Structures are given as C-alpha cells and as structure tokens.
C-alpha cells in the first residue's frame, strides 16, 4: 500500500475551507486556528474578513500591534478596494501608517462611534479595551491570539458575540512585568495566553491548524516542526529543488563564504567561533554577522523560487539579521553601517515576529553566554529566529553551547494545575543545535 502523495495545496485548501465553514456556519461561539510560521495566517484572516463582510455580518478585528493593524488594513484594501473599512486608532501622535491616507475607502478615527455601521472595523486590543458598545458585534477576528494575554481578551470579549481566533502557538508567549504566580493554575490566569484561557473554559470549540508552511523551505520545515511543534506537525509547501540560492561570485574560502555556500546548498549554516565567554555584544560574533551579510550582498546572490522562476537578486531588503537583545541589534547595525550595509533589517526576535526574508543571519541567543537563563531558553525566541527565512538561515554562535545547556538543565519550579508548555526551550535548543552541527563551519578570527 502506498500513501497518497501529499499535495500541500490541496491540504491547505481543505483546512482553509473547513475553517471558513466553521466560522461562517458553525454553531460554536469560537473557532481556534493554529498557524505555524508562514502558513498563510494573514491570507486566512483577510479571506475570513471578506467573506464575513460579504455575508453582511458586521465584523471587528482585534490585532496586537498598530503595525499588524495597518498591515491588515492594507491587505484588505488590496483584495477588495471597494470595501469600506474603519481604522480605529489611538489619540497619540502618528497613530497609524500614513499609507492609509491614500485609501479613500478607509475611514480613520480615534472614536469608535465615528466608525459605526462600517462592515469592518480594525484596531489593536489595547484600543478596543477602551470601547464600550450597547450592541455587541456579531463577529470578531482575533489575530495573533497566542501573543495576546488573557486579561487583554477579558477586556474586549464583551464586544463581540463570536470570534475566530488565529495565531502561532510556537512564537513568543506574552509576559507580565510583575509576578503572577498567585494565579498559576487558574483557568483564567490573567498572564496566560488568551487561547489558553479560552480553551480552558470552552474545551469543545473547534480547533484547526494550517498544515502547510509556504514560507519555510523543504530544508527547514521538518526541523522547525520537530523542534517546536512536535504535537502539531506541519509540512513545507514546496519541495527540495523548488527553491535555489546561487551566487555569481565564487567562495574565497573564508569562513563566512563557506558557511554561505553550506546554507545555500542545505538551507542551514552554522558559523562557529571558538568557545569563549563574552559580553552580549561579543565584538567577534558581531563582526562575523556583519561580514556574512556583507558577503551575501557582494557575491551576487540570486534566489529561485516557485514565486519567481527567474532568479531574483538577493538584495538588502531580502536579508534580515535576528538577535535576542536590543543592544546586540544596535551593535550589529553599527557594524553593518561600517561595512556599507546599513539598509539590511536588524531586529530582535520580538520585532521579527510575523516577518519574512529570503536569508536570515541569526546571532544565537546562547552564544558566548556563561549562563542560560529562562529568557535565553524560551522556546518561542529560538523558534522565531529560526523560522523567518524562505531560502536559508545562517546562525553565528560560539562553540560550547551544548555543554552550557547540559550545565543548566531546566530545574524550573512547577505550578500545580498549569498545562505544561511543550516542548521546553532546553530540549528545543538541543534539537536545533544537533541539526546545525551537521552544517558547521568553524571560524578562527
């Protein structure tokens, strides 16, 4: 017996149809959708919004940041320029992307009353929390629901009758700046994620997942799926050979060039510096990151993919650098400026969530560290950094991280009644490192 060949397009369409069916015709008050990196979450949100609007159901959309809100408004406008959309914004200075000013069908206001009657109104959870209504919306879409805190959902859930919750469970969890242990184990722990609370109180809600990552290449999906989504695996939408990264300029034999070639051929590269304890802004590692980026640009890279069968040049806007800390990002930025590559995006994991590039260069969160804290071990951080690329990901790291992990086994306290977050960062880190070790290039500065 042979298994039928997996057709990603069909699988994804089937999932989307089921989600839309439950959303439009289901009897439950909520539908939850897990979306792994690059699985078409935004496309789904836009489609669901348009179909709900078509069906004449007034819709509110809750996103977590202003950038996400503006992005959704632009995507909706792109799909249906006729649809009137309300952009509810704060009363701060520059509350929304000025690109919205060019869209005549988008009405913008800081007052919800000004937007009454529009088929779709979009805002952040923080802004929605200040809105009061006599008549709740028939429908809501809550985007990035896993990054939303339970208390934030509590503040807005009274505004709608039913909702579609969409998000990526593998990304960074929401956090509180003060201790919240006293509520651990409660179904409505205010510091937990909105989805955790929602499902604890409504275990029967239909739960779907998008099964195909259109972003991650065939080389990356299995690792990211195994390491970060062991119980909800996904596949790559493309096959080995569908994507190709080539360079016009051959390798000069240096570490950076060799790791670039390794990553171009296998999708992953680890540029390993000698073991050493360093400050966060390890100058050698920062220089290595900058050099790799410079060489990526200088070597005339070209990316072939299902989107562009003709090689598309690997330009600065198709490359990003990811770090754990802001000061590391700042150090990399200034190193890149010195090398004349200031237009490459450099950001922390938090800010890279939801973004996509051809090649990413990542300063490993544990590189050079004398200790491994919960922050650095957080599963979501590594997951975000390792899942932004369409072609290849290059990690820069000091040797010795495996031993560091072994010296810091997770001996976390355990709160009774809480659902264990799985996998934990310690194990996920080991899985990723073991895989990267097969693509290692040593660098002796």
Which residues in this chain contact other proteins in the complex, by CB under 8 A? 29-30, 94, 126, 129-130, 150-151, 153-155, 157-158, 176-191, 194, 197-198, 201-202, 276-283, 326-327, 330-331, 368-371, 373, 406-407, 409-417, 420, 422, 424, 426-427, 430
Residue 213 vs 429, nearer CB to other proteins? 429
HSE of 208 in the Cβ direction (CA atoms, 13 Å)?
25
Q: Which residues contact 414 (CB under 8 A, 6 or more apart)?
A: none
Nearest approach in angstroms of CB 229 to other proteins is 16
Structure tokens at 50: 């348009």
On whether the CB atoms of residues 129 and 156 are closer than 8 A, the answer is yes
Nearest approach in angstroms of CB 323 to other proteins is 14
Residue 129 vs 304, nearer CB to other proteins? 129
Task: Determine the Cα–Cα distance for residues 348 and 200; give it in Å rounded to an integer.
Answer: 32
- Using alpha carbons, list the distances in angstroms from residue 428 to 177, 278, 324, 419: 25, 23, 16, 18
Nearest approach in angstroms of CB 99 to other proteins is 17
Task: Determine the Cα–Cα distance for residues 401 and 379; give it in Å rounded to an integer.
Answer: 15
Nearest approach in angstroms of CB 166 to other proteins is 15
Task: Determine the Cα–Cα distance for residues 436 and 187; give it in Å rounded to an integer.
Answer: 38
Residue 47 vs 351, nearer CB to other proteins? 351
Residue 212 vs 285, nearer CB to other proteins? 285
Residue 226 vs 242, nearer CB to other proteins? 226
DSSP 8-state secondary structure symbol assigned to residue 181: G
On whether the CB atoms of residues 358 and 367 are closer than 8 A, the answer is no
Q: Which secondary structure element, helix H or strand E, spans residue 256, and what is its range?
A: helix 255-266
Residue 83 vs 186, nearer CB to other proteins? 186
Nearest approach in angstroms of CB 78 to other proteins is 26
Nearest approach in angstroms of CB 127 to other proteins is 9
Nearest approach in angstroms of CB 372 to other proteins is 10
- E-assigned strands of 183-325? 207-209, 212-213, 235-236, 244-247, 268-273, 301-304, 312-313, 319-323
Residue 56 vs 417, nearer CB to other proteins? 417
Residue 248 vs 275, nearer CB to other proteins? 275
Task: Determine the Cα–Cα distance for residues 290 and 381; give it in Å rounded to an integer.
Answer: 21
Residue 76 vs 397, nearer CB to other proteins? 397
Nearest approach in angstroms of CB 71 to other proteins is 19
On whether the CB atoms of residues 112 and 137 are closer than 8 A, the answer is no
In angstroms, the first-to-last Cα distance of the chain is 54
Nearest approach in angstroms of CB 176 to other proteins is 6
DSSP 8-state secondary structure symbol assigned to residue 4: P
- The SS3 call for residue 173 is coil
Please report where in the chains the tokens 């510096």 appear, as a residue. 273
CA 125 centroid distance within chain = 18
Nearest approach in angstroms of CB 304 to other proteins is 36
- E-assigned strands of 82-224? 85-88, 106-109, 120-124, 137-142, 160-167, 207-209, 212-213
Residue 183 vs 305, nearer CB to other proteins? 183
């Amino acid at each position: 017996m042979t298994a039928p060949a997996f057709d990603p397009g069909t699988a994804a369409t089937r999932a989307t149809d089921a989600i839309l069916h439950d959303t439009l015709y289901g009897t439950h008050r909520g539908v939850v959708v897990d979306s792994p990196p690059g699985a078409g979450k935004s496309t789904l949100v836009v489609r669901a919004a348009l179909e709900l609007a078509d069906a004449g159901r007034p819709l509110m959309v809750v996103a977590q940041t202003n950038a996400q809100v503006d992005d959704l408004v632009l995507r909706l406008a792109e799909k249906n320029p006729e649809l009137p959309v309300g952009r509810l914004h704060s009363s701060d200075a520059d509350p929304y992307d000025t690109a919205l000013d060019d869209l005549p069908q988008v009405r913008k206001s800081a007052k919800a009353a000004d937007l009454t009657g529009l088929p779709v109104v979009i805002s952040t959870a923080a802004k929605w929390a200040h809105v009061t209504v006599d008549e709740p919306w028939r429908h809501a879409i809550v985007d990035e629901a896993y990054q939303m805190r339970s208390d934030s959902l509590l503040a807005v859930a009274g505004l709608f009758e039913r909702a579609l919750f969409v998000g990526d469970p593998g990304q960074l969890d929401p956090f509180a700046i003060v201790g919240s242990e006293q509520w651990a184990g409660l179904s409505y722990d205010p510091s937990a994620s909105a989805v955790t609370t929602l499902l604890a109180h409504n275990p029967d809600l239909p739960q779907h997942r998008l099964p195909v990552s259109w972003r991650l290449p065939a080389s990356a999906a299995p690792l990211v799926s195994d390491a970060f989504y062991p119980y909800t695996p996904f596949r790559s939408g493309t096959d080995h050979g569908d994507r190709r990264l080539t360079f016009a300029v051959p390798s000069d034999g240096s570490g950076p060039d060799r790791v670039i070639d390794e990553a171009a051929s296998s999708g992953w590269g680890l540029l390993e510096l000698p073991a050493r304890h360093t400050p966060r802004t390890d100058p050698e590692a920062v220089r290595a990151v900058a050099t790799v980026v410079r060489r990526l640009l200088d070597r005339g890279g070209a990316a072939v993919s299902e989107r562009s069968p003709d090689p598309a040049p690997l330009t600065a806007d198709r490359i990003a650098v990811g770090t754990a800390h802001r000061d590391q990002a700042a150090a990399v930025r200034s190193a890149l400026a010195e090398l004349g590559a200031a237009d490459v995006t450099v950001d922390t994991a938090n800010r890279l969530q939801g973004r996509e590039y051809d090649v990413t260069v990542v300063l490993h969160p544990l590189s050079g560290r004398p200790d491994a804290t919960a922050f650095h071990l957080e599963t979501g951080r590594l997951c975000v950094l390792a899942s932004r690329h369409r072609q290849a990901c290059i990690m820069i790291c000091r040797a010795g991280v495996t031993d560091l992990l072994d010296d810091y086994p997770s001996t976390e306290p355990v709160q009774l009644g809480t659902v264990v977050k799985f996998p934990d960062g310690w194990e996920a880190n080991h899985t990723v490192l073991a895989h990267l070790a097969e693509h290692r290039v040593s660098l002796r500065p």
